[in-house]
Amino acid sequence: MKIFGVKLPMMASLVIWAIVWELIGRLDLSILLPPLSHILIRMVEIIPTATFLKAFWITAKCFLIGSTIAVVAGIPIGVLMGRSIIADRMLLPWVNMFLSAPLTALVPVLMTLFGFGEQTIILTTLLFAIWIIVLDARAGVKGISQSLVEMAHSYGANGWQAFTKIYVWAAMPEILAGIRLGFIRAIKGVIIGQLLVSIVGFGRLFELYSSNFLMEHMWALLLVLFFFAFLIAEGMGRIERKFSYYAASR
Protein backbone atom coordinates (compact mmCIF):
# COMPACT_ATOMS: atom_id res chain seq x y z
CA MET A 1 0.00 0.00 0.00
CA LYS A 2 1.18 3.53 -0.76
CA ILE A 3 0.30 6.72 1.04
CA PHE A 4 1.57 10.07 -0.34
CA GLY A 5 4.01 8.11 -2.50
CA VAL A 6 5.58 6.36 0.48
CA LYS A 7 5.45 2.60 0.40
CA LEU A 8 4.19 1.26 3.72
CA PRO A 9 5.41 -2.06 5.10
CA MET A 10 2.90 -4.91 5.53
CA MET A 11 2.35 -4.50 9.23
CA ALA A 12 1.95 -0.72 9.22
CA SER A 13 -1.65 -0.91 10.46
CA LEU A 14 -0.39 -2.58 13.65
CA VAL A 15 1.47 0.63 14.51
CA ILE A 16 -1.78 2.60 14.34
CA TRP A 17 -3.57 0.08 16.53
CA ALA A 18 -0.68 0.14 19.01
CA ILE A 19 -1.01 3.93 19.26
CA VAL A 20 -4.79 3.63 19.76
CA TRP A 21 -4.22 1.06 22.50
CA GLU A 22 -1.64 3.25 24.21
CA LEU A 23 -3.99 6.27 24.19
CA ILE A 24 -7.01 4.36 25.47
CA GLY A 25 -4.83 2.75 28.14
CA ARG A 26 -3.66 6.16 29.30
CA LEU A 27 -7.27 7.31 29.72
CA ASP A 28 -7.47 4.88 32.64
CA LEU A 29 -10.90 3.66 31.54
CA SER A 30 -10.54 0.17 32.90
CA ILE A 31 -8.15 -1.86 34.95
CA LEU A 32 -8.48 -4.50 32.23
CA LEU A 33 -6.66 -2.37 29.66
CA PRO A 34 -3.35 -0.90 30.78
CA PRO A 35 -1.29 1.19 28.30
CA LEU A 36 0.72 -0.83 25.82
CA SER A 37 4.01 0.71 26.89
CA HIS A 38 3.50 -0.54 30.47
CA ILE A 39 2.81 -4.02 29.12
CA LEU A 40 5.96 -3.98 27.01
CA ILE A 41 8.04 -2.91 29.99
CA ARG A 42 6.46 -5.69 32.03
CA MET A 43 7.24 -8.13 29.23
CA VAL A 44 10.93 -7.29 29.31
CA GLU A 45 10.75 -7.70 33.07
CA ILE A 46 9.09 -11.11 33.25
CA ILE A 47 10.61 -12.89 30.26
CA PRO A 48 14.04 -13.48 31.89
CA THR A 49 12.52 -14.79 35.13
CA ALA A 50 12.93 -18.47 35.95
CA THR A 51 9.16 -18.98 36.31
CA PHE A 52 8.51 -17.63 32.84
CA LEU A 53 11.32 -19.57 31.20
CA LYS A 54 10.23 -22.77 32.91
CA ALA A 55 6.64 -22.25 31.80
CA PHE A 56 7.82 -21.47 28.30
CA TRP A 57 9.98 -24.59 28.21
CA ILE A 58 7.10 -26.82 29.33
CA THR A 59 4.80 -25.26 26.75
CA ALA A 60 7.33 -25.64 23.96
CA LYS A 61 8.04 -29.22 24.96
CA CYS A 62 4.37 -30.22 25.12
CA PHE A 63 3.67 -28.42 21.84
CA LEU A 64 6.59 -30.10 20.06
CA ILE A 65 5.85 -33.60 21.34
CA GLY A 66 2.10 -33.33 20.79
CA SER A 67 2.27 -31.87 17.31
CA THR A 68 5.09 -34.18 16.23
CA ILE A 69 3.00 -37.21 17.16
CA ALA A 70 0.05 -35.62 15.37
CA VAL A 71 2.12 -35.22 12.18
CA VAL A 72 3.85 -38.59 12.33
CA ALA A 73 0.61 -40.47 13.02
CA GLY A 74 -1.79 -38.20 11.15
CA ILE A 75 -0.15 -38.30 7.70
CA PRO A 76 -0.02 -42.12 7.37
CA ILE A 77 -3.59 -42.41 8.68
CA GLY A 78 -4.76 -39.80 6.19
CA VAL A 79 -2.87 -41.44 3.31
CA LEU A 80 -4.32 -44.82 4.27
CA MET A 81 -7.84 -43.36 4.34
CA GLY A 82 -7.25 -41.77 0.95
CA ARG A 83 -6.12 -45.06 -0.56
CA SER A 84 -8.32 -47.64 1.15
CA ILE A 85 -12.09 -47.43 1.02
CA ILE A 86 -12.45 -49.77 4.02
CA ALA A 87 -10.13 -47.68 6.20
CA ASP A 88 -11.93 -44.56 5.04
CA ARG A 89 -15.37 -45.92 5.95
CA MET A 90 -14.10 -47.09 9.33
CA LEU A 91 -12.29 -43.93 10.35
CA LEU A 92 -13.93 -40.99 8.61
CA PRO A 93 -16.92 -40.67 11.01
CA TRP A 94 -14.55 -40.53 13.97
CA VAL A 95 -12.23 -38.03 12.34
CA ASN A 96 -15.11 -35.76 11.39
CA MET A 97 -16.63 -36.03 14.84
CA PHE A 98 -13.41 -35.20 16.66
CA LEU A 99 -12.62 -32.39 14.24
CA SER A 100 -15.80 -30.53 15.15
CA ALA A 101 -16.19 -31.77 18.74
CA PRO A 102 -15.62 -29.36 21.64
CA LEU A 103 -12.41 -31.07 22.71
CA THR A 104 -12.02 -28.72 25.65
CA ALA A 105 -14.74 -30.74 27.37
CA LEU A 106 -12.55 -33.83 27.07
CA VAL A 107 -9.66 -32.32 29.00
CA PRO A 108 -11.16 -32.98 32.47
CA VAL A 109 -11.59 -36.63 31.43
CA LEU A 110 -7.96 -36.74 30.34
CA MET A 111 -6.99 -35.20 33.68
CA THR A 112 -8.66 -37.96 35.64
CA LEU A 113 -6.99 -40.54 33.42
CA PHE A 114 -3.51 -39.07 33.08
CA GLY A 115 -3.17 -36.74 36.04
CA PHE A 116 -2.38 -33.05 36.26
CA GLY A 117 0.93 -33.20 34.46
CA GLU A 118 2.52 -32.88 31.07
CA GLN A 119 0.95 -36.08 29.77
CA THR A 120 -2.50 -34.52 29.82
CA ILE A 121 -1.24 -31.38 28.09
CA ILE A 122 0.57 -33.36 25.38
CA LEU A 123 -2.56 -35.43 24.78
CA THR A 124 -4.71 -32.32 24.56
CA THR A 125 -2.30 -30.84 22.03
CA LEU A 126 -2.35 -34.06 20.02
CA LEU A 127 -6.14 -34.25 20.06
CA PHE A 128 -6.47 -30.67 18.89
CA ALA A 129 -3.94 -31.04 16.08
CA ILE A 130 -4.27 -34.48 14.55
CA TRP A 131 -7.70 -34.51 12.91
CA ILE A 132 -7.18 -31.71 10.44
CA ILE A 133 -3.81 -33.23 9.48
CA VAL A 134 -5.52 -36.57 8.81
CA LEU A 135 -8.29 -34.95 6.76
CA ASP A 136 -5.95 -32.83 4.66
CA ALA A 137 -3.58 -35.72 3.94
CA ARG A 138 -6.62 -37.77 2.95
CA ALA A 139 -7.88 -35.03 0.64
CA GLY A 140 -4.42 -34.68 -0.90
CA VAL A 141 -4.09 -38.37 -1.60
CA LYS A 142 -7.60 -38.57 -3.06
CA GLY A 143 -6.60 -35.83 -5.48
CA ILE A 144 -3.54 -37.64 -6.86
CA SER A 145 -3.90 -38.24 -10.57
CA GLN A 146 -4.70 -41.86 -11.36
CA SER A 147 -1.87 -42.03 -13.87
CA LEU A 148 0.78 -41.22 -11.22
CA VAL A 149 -0.53 -44.13 -9.18
CA GLU A 150 -0.50 -46.37 -12.25
CA MET A 151 2.98 -45.13 -13.10
CA ALA A 152 4.34 -46.19 -9.72
CA HIS A 153 2.56 -49.52 -10.02
CA SER A 154 3.72 -50.25 -13.56
CA TYR A 155 7.35 -49.46 -12.74
CA GLY A 156 7.20 -51.94 -9.89
CA ALA A 157 6.73 -49.83 -6.75
CA ASN A 158 5.78 -51.81 -3.65
CA GLY A 159 3.38 -50.36 -1.08
CA TRP A 160 6.07 -48.66 0.98
CA GLN A 161 7.76 -47.13 -2.06
CA ALA A 162 4.43 -45.87 -3.38
CA PHE A 163 3.76 -44.25 0.02
CA THR A 164 7.16 -42.60 0.50
CA LYS A 165 7.98 -41.75 -3.11
CA ILE A 166 4.59 -40.89 -4.62
CA TYR A 167 1.63 -40.43 -2.27
CA VAL A 168 3.31 -38.24 0.33
CA TRP A 169 4.94 -36.04 -2.31
CA ALA A 170 1.96 -35.78 -4.60
CA ALA A 171 -0.21 -34.81 -1.64
CA MET A 172 2.44 -32.49 -0.18
CA PRO A 173 0.63 -29.16 -0.75
CA GLU A 174 -2.46 -30.45 1.10
CA ILE A 175 -0.37 -32.17 3.76
CA LEU A 176 1.51 -28.94 4.48
CA ALA A 177 -1.74 -26.98 4.68
CA GLY A 178 -2.96 -29.62 7.13
CA ILE A 179 0.19 -29.33 9.22
CA ARG A 180 -0.11 -25.54 9.32
CA LEU A 181 -3.72 -25.72 10.47
CA GLY A 182 -2.80 -28.56 12.82
CA PHE A 183 -0.04 -26.46 14.40
CA ILE A 184 -2.41 -23.55 14.91
CA ARG A 185 -4.84 -25.88 16.64
CA ALA A 186 -1.97 -27.44 18.61
CA ILE A 187 -1.15 -24.01 20.01
CA LYS A 188 -4.74 -23.69 21.18
CA GLY A 189 -4.56 -27.19 22.60
CA VAL A 190 -1.34 -26.64 24.50
CA ILE A 191 -2.66 -23.43 26.09
CA ILE A 192 -6.17 -24.72 26.81
CA GLY A 193 -4.69 -27.87 28.33
CA GLN A 194 -2.49 -25.80 30.63
CA LEU A 195 -5.30 -23.44 31.56
CA LEU A 196 -7.52 -26.30 32.61
CA VAL A 197 -4.80 -28.20 34.40
CA SER A 198 -3.73 -24.80 35.78
CA ILE A 199 -0.89 -25.98 37.98
CA VAL A 200 1.85 -26.23 35.34
CA GLY A 201 3.44 -23.89 32.82
CA PHE A 202 1.59 -20.88 31.51
CA GLY A 203 -1.62 -22.20 33.02
CA ARG A 204 -0.20 -21.61 36.47
CA LEU A 205 1.03 -18.15 35.47
CA PHE A 206 -2.34 -17.17 34.02
CA GLU A 207 -4.04 -18.43 37.16
CA LEU A 208 -1.61 -16.46 39.30
CA TYR A 209 -1.89 -13.22 37.31
CA SER A 210 -5.65 -13.22 36.86
CA SER A 211 -6.46 -14.08 40.46
CA ASN A 212 -4.28 -11.15 41.55
CA PHE A 213 -5.57 -8.77 38.86
CA LEU A 214 -2.07 -8.36 37.42
CA MET A 215 -3.37 -7.17 34.05
CA GLU A 216 -0.05 -5.91 32.73
CA HIS A 217 1.52 -9.31 33.39
CA MET A 218 -1.47 -11.03 31.87
CA TRP A 219 -1.30 -8.99 28.68
CA ALA A 220 2.47 -9.38 28.46
CA LEU A 221 2.06 -13.14 28.58
CA LEU A 222 -0.73 -13.09 26.00
CA LEU A 223 1.28 -10.95 23.59
CA VAL A 224 4.25 -13.32 23.85
CA LEU A 225 1.96 -16.24 23.04
CA PHE A 226 0.29 -14.40 20.15
CA PHE A 227 3.70 -13.60 18.78
CA PHE A 228 4.87 -17.21 18.83
CA ALA A 229 1.60 -18.50 17.37
CA PHE A 230 1.99 -16.00 14.56
CA LEU A 231 5.62 -17.03 13.98
CA ILE A 232 4.71 -20.70 13.70
CA ALA A 233 1.79 -20.10 11.34
CA GLU A 234 3.85 -17.74 9.21
CA GLY A 235 6.83 -20.13 9.08
CA MET A 236 4.60 -22.98 7.92
CA GLY A 237 2.98 -20.67 5.38
CA ARG A 238 6.39 -19.97 3.91
CA ILE A 239 7.24 -23.66 3.58
CA GLU A 240 3.83 -24.25 2.02
CA ARG A 241 4.42 -21.60 -0.64
CA LYS A 242 7.65 -23.33 -1.64
CA PHE A 243 5.64 -26.38 -2.63
CA SER A 244 2.75 -24.61 -4.27
CA TYR A 245 4.59 -24.44 -7.59
CA TYR A 246 3.58 -27.97 -8.40
CA ALA A 247 0.17 -27.97 -6.80
CA ALA A 248 -1.27 -26.72 -10.08
CA SER A 249 0.65 -29.11 -12.30
CA ARG A 250 -0.24 -32.45 -10.79
Partner 1 sequence: MSTHTESISESTAPAAVAVENVSKIYPGGVEALSNMTLQFPKGELTSVLGPSGCGKTTLLKIIAGLLPANSGTVKVNGQPVTGPGPERAFVFQDFALMPWATVIRNVAFGLELRGVAKSERTAIADKQIENVGLKGFENHYPHQLSGGMRQRVGLARALAVDAEILLMDEPFSAVDEQTRRKFQEDLLGVVQVEKKTFIFVTHSIEEAVYLSDSIALLLPRPSRVSEIIKPDIRRDIDPDAIRRDPVYLDTVERIWQGLRRYIE
Residues that bind partner 1 (CB under 8 A): 145, 147-148, 150-157, 161, 165-166, 169-170, 172, 243, 245-246, 249-250
- Specify the DSSP element, H or E, that contains 233: helix 215-243
Question: Which of 100/158 has CB closer to partner 1?
Answer: 158
β strands within the chain, DSSP E: 2-3, 6-7
Taking the complex as a whole, how short is the minimal distance between the CB of residue 151 and partner 1, in angstroms?
4
Taking the complex as a whole, how short is the minimal distance between the CB of residue 42 and partner 1, in angstroms?
47
Question: Which of 84/145 has CB closer to partner 1?
Answer: 145
- Specify the DSSP element, H or E, that contains 38: helix 36-46
Taking the complex as a whole, how short is the minimal distance between the CB of residue 95 and partner 1, in angstroms?
27
Taking the complex as a whole, how short is the minimal distance between the CB of residue 118 and partner 1, in angstroms?
37
Residues forming beta bridges with residue 3, ordered by sequence position: 6
Question: Which of 7/242 has CB closer to partner 1?
Answer: 242
- Specify the DSSP element, H or E, that contains 119: helix 118-142
Q: Are 205 and 47 in contact (CB under 8 A)?
A: no
Question: Which of 216/240 has CB closer to partner 1?
Answer: 240
Measure CA 54 to chain center: 21
